[in-house]
Structures are given as structure tokens and as C-alpha cells.
Amino acid sequence: MAGIVIVGAGQAAASLAAKLRALGHDGPLTIVGEEPVAPYQRPPLSKGYLLGEMPLERLMLRAPSFWEDQRVTLRLGAPVTAIDRVAKTVTVAGEALGYDQLALTTGAVPRRLPSAIGGDLDGVYTVRTLADVDAMAAEFAPGRRLVVVGGGYIGLEAAAVARKLGLEVTVVELAPRILSRVAAAETAEAVADLHACHGVTIRTGTGLARLAGAGRVTGAELDDGSTLPADFVIVGVGITPDTRLAGSAGLEIDNGIAVDAHGRTSDPSIWAAGDCAAFPHAGGRLRLESVGNAIDMGELVAANMLGAGKAYVPKPWFWSDQYDMKLQIAGLNTGYDRTVRRPAGDGLSVWYYAGDRLLAVDAIDDPRAYMIGKRLIEAGRSPDPAALADPATDLKALLA
């Protein structure tokens, strides 16, 4: 029996494999991963792990005994180089590994700066894998100068860690403000103020012209003619779905590996889940880059591989930890046309509306707003924006 093969060894793969066993799949089950380590958590890489507060063993999604007890074969440090859809095999280290069903959980890869502007200089890093963070760890010494290119969550989390460790940090963002693609101005302002209070310099509306250095980066030349000295640089300008394997196998690609509502690709024997998968949503396709999506979609695909026939209904949630601030996000703010700001003690929440419909909420140090907002969004309920804006309104009463 060829069994089930999962390509990619991240959160979606771990969730998919565990669910298959929990639902009674008893056949051969193999996870093939390019990295030489078992499935681990990625979010703490730019936070607790980089700070040295979370040891490697706590990053692991499962204890080593889990994989043995569940009879899951881990083929690690062994990238899949090809899929033969006719023979139903994948090529791993020159060997053809057969499958009855194949799941692609290949995740995403960070965007890098072009080599023409210094992107391949030593001392230029991205934050995506354990190896990425291990490679840059020695750079985080007090007094050193870090330039972060990109004002998104990954870059800002790394900036927060660097400041806590005593580095001088400048964030360079081409857009007029940080978090411009993912958050409202009210949320971005609160985050920017937090970084300013901790001594981070944020240069918005300023692009990177090139990185300077001979062999190793020494500075960042900006498009306003100024130069920032840099001992090292972190690039946080987004990620792209890893569709290389799927594309070379002739699967449909549409902002990710295109799947139907059940998670099945254009090949009936191949499925996809997690960051790499683009599923039907609101008349188009949606791809979510989050732990929650990787877990939920991985488990749904596992059930559907065993014949459940369930459609994926996403329940988006995200979070970001910076300094002592916790930002929690529920829903998707795509298409919002107004926001409601609600203060709450030392925190605040920002509620996104399209017309009268509540889309999403950002809760900064306000877990109550996050939990209630999440329940409202999942129930399809939209409270009166004026009531939300009034601090005297009992949020819990909005659920009644």
C-alpha cells in the first residue's frame, strides 16, 4: 500500500497528519520536509526564540515520541524535487516514493531583495525558518546597528526584539505608514507610538535604493539620498506561496496552489493546505498566511482525504507580540470603508466595517474585545458602530 504522503513539514503538515490518525487512517503516512528538523512553530522565531526565552525543544509541535507512536514516517532534510502524477510518485533524494493520495503543505517563501541592490551581501537576513534565525542570532549584540527593511509584522517583531537586546534600530518603510497593507491607520499609529517609546526610528515614505558594502553589508542607501549605517539588515517585505513543485507538476496555480472548497487541487489525488493553498472565497480565491488557517485547513483536508466531503469555511485569526503589547486580530478587513476606535484602559480596539457589516477587529491589549469581536464575526452579527464607539457600552451585551 502506497499510503498518504505529505510534502512540507510545517504546521499544516503536522495538523493534517495528526488528524488523519485521529480519524482512523491506518495506512502508511509519510511527511517529507526540506528542513532537517521535525515540524515546529514559526511565530516564536521572531519573538521568544530570537530573544533566547524559548528553547528549541519548546518550538517543536510534537514530542519525538508522538511521530513514532502514531507511525508517521518523517523524511527530513530531503526536498521533494518532482511529482509524477501518472506514476503517482514523488522524487525524494533520487528515490521514487509512491502515494495513493498526496498533500502539499509547502508553505511560503520570503521575498528577498535583488542581488543588484545588495540583497545577496553577507549580513542580510530574512526571518522564516529556524536556520534563518540561528544564522542571525550572533548579530544581536548591544550597541550594534540594525536596519529593518519593511514595516510589516515580521520586521516590527524583529525590531522589538533587537531593542530589548540593546541594539540601535531603524525601520525603513516605502509606504506613508507602517502596516499599510494589513491594518487601519489607528492600529498602525498605536504600534508606531509603541516603537517610538522604545527608541526605534521609523522612516516612512522612504524607499531603499540599495544596500552598500563590499562582500558584507555596511549601510542602507535610501531614495532620499541619505545613508543609514548598518551592521546587519533584516528584510521583511512579505512572503509568496511556494508553488514551485506544484507548478512544475502542472497543477493549477492562482495566487497559490488552486484548490476547491474541499482542499483538492486540479489533480483529484492531490490536495493542498496552509499558506500555499488558495481556496474559493466570496467569488474569488483567498489565501491565508496564519497558524489558524494552517491548523484548520490541514484538519479539514485530512477529513476530506478520508471522504468527509466538507467545505472549508475559514475563521481567520492572527496575533503579533511586540515588547509587552499583544495585538490580536479576528476576521478579514479586506474591503472595509470605515473603522470604529474603542479605547479600553491601557489598550484599544479597532473595528472594521463595510457599510453596516462588521468585518474584523484589531485588539491591542484588549483580549475581551478580541474574544467578543471574534464571536460576533463568526456569528455574522454586526453591532451598531455608535454603540461600539461608546466606552460605556458593555461589549458582552452586544452578543445577546
Residue whose C-alpha cell is 489565501: 287
Q: What angle do CA 271, 275, 276 make, to 5 degrees?
A: 50
Split at pLDDT 50, 70, 90, the class of 345 is: confident
Task: Give percent of the chain with pLDDT exceeding 90.
Answer: 96
**pTM for the full model?**
0.95
The answer to whether 149 and 220 have CB atoms below 8 angstroms apart is yes
The answer to whether the 112-235 and 324-399 domains have the same CATH topology is: no
CA 165, 170, 174, 176 dihedral sign is positive
CATH topology of domain 112-235: FAD/NAD(P)-binding domain (3.50.50)
d(CA 195, CA 215): 31
* Average pLDDT value for residue range 71-97: 97
Domain residue ranges of the chain, discontinuous segments joined by +: 4-109+239-305, 112-235, 324-399
> What average pLDDT does the structure give for the chain?
96
pLDDT of 39-54, one tens digit each? 999 999 988 999 889 9
Distance of CA 211 to the CA centre of its chain: 26
DSSP category for residue 100: S
For the chain, the distance separating the N- and C-terminal CA atoms, rounded to the nearest angstrom, is 53
Q: Which tens digit of pLDDT belongs to each residue from 214-272?
A: 999 999 999 999 999 999 999 999 999 999 999 999 999 999 999 999 999 999 999 99
The C-alpha angle 263, 268, 270, rounded to 5 degrees, equals 60
| pLDDT of 123 over the 80 cut | yes
Specify the CATH class of 324-399 in words.
Answer: alpha beta
Q: Compute the distance between CA of residue 264 and CA of residue 257 in angstroms, rounded to an integer.
A: 10
What's the confidence (pLDDT) of residue 1?
61
Query: What are 200's three cell numbers?
Result: 526605534
Residue 90 one-letter amino acid: V
Distance from C-alpha of 8 to C-alpha of 95, rounded to nearest angstrom: 17
Q: Which CATH class is domain 4-109+239-305?
A: alpha beta
The CA-CA-CA angle for residues 316, 362, 174, to 5°, reads: 95
Cell numbers at 127, concatenated:
526571518
CA dist 253 and 59 (Å) reads: 31
Is-contact 29 3, C-beta < 8 A?
A: yes
> What is the mean predicted confidence (pLDDT) over 169-188?
97
Q: Is 30 left (phi over 0), alpha (psi -120 to 50) or beta?
A: beta
Tens of pLDDT, residues 346-385: 999 999 999 999 999 999 999 999 999 999 999 999 999 9
pLDDT in tens, 288-322: 999 999 999 999 999 999 999 999 999 999 999 99
Non-local (6+) Cβ contacts of 353 within 8 A are: 336, 337, 338, 339, 340, 359, 382, 385
Q: How many CB atoms lie within 10 A of CB 257?
A: 31
In contact, 280 and 343? CB cutoff 8 Å: no
Q: Residue 331, exposed/middle/buried by CB under 10 A (0-12, 13-18, 19+)?
A: buried
Task: Please give the helix or strand (H or E) that residue 375 lies within, else none.
Answer: helix 367-378
Residue 122 vs residues 126, 128, 216, 277: alpha-carbon distances, Å = 12, 17, 4, 32
Looking at residue 2, its pLDDT comes to: 73
Buried b (16+ CB within 10 A) or exposed e, 77-90: ebbbeebeeeebbb
